[in-house]
Structure formats: C-alpha cells, structure tokens
Amino acid sequence: MLIGMIARAHLYLEALTDGTNASHADIAARFNAHGPDISRILPMAFLSPKITEAILTGQQPVDLSIAKLTRMLDLPIGWKDQHSLLIN
C-alpha cells in the first residue's frame, strides 16, 4: 500500500507540473480522487531516495505507515532530516 501511495504521489506531481496548469481540483477529478487526498499524498513524491528505496524493498520501519506519512504536517524537506525522523 505504501508503494501505491508513492506511485500516486508521483502521478499527481507529474499531472500538476506537465504544463497544463491543472489545479488540485482538476487532478482530483481526473484521477477520481478526493480533493484533500491530493494535498496529503503529494508530499510523498518528495521523500528521500533512501526512504523510497526502503519502502520499495520492504525494509522500512514497521511503524512507517500510510497513516503516519499522510498525517505529518511538518515533513522535513531535507533528506537527512527525513531519514532521522522516519528511519531512525
């Protein structure tokens, strides 16, 4: 499920940055998603490569869940900070 969320995040990011000037509402309609879910899931497109790899290979911590990731209002931008918060 985490892998699917990361894939959706990258899909939403691509749709928002493809030059069509699509809004969050446009993306939600296009992908039949709940509007606020776009905003909650989109930050997952900016996870560090190490965290993404850990998720893709099933090596993430047990407590690293969709609920935890999507409820983090203060996910650090810096990859080292993300790693310290989510992996350590």
Predicted confidence (pLDDT) per residue in 12-53, tens digit:
999 999 999 999 899 999 999 998 889 999 999 999 999 999
Is residue 70 scored above 90 in pLDDT?
Answer: no
Q: SS3 for 19-56, per residue?
A: CCCCCHHHHHHHCCCCHHHHHHHHHHHHCCHHHHHHHH
Expressed as residue numbers, the domain containing 19 is: 2-86
Is residue 8 scored above 90 in pLDDT?
Answer: yes
Q: What is the rounded CA–CA span in Å between residue 48 and residue 59?
A: 14
| Cβ partners under 8 Å of residue 24, min gap 6 | 16, 35, 38, 39
Mean confidence (pLDDT) of the chain: 92
Is residue 71 scored above 90 in pLDDT?
Answer: no
Is residue 68 scored above 80 in pLDDT?
Answer: yes
The predicted model scores a pTM of 0.88
Q: What phi and psi, each to the nearest 5 degrees, are found at residue 19?
A: 90, 0
Number of domains making up the chain: 1
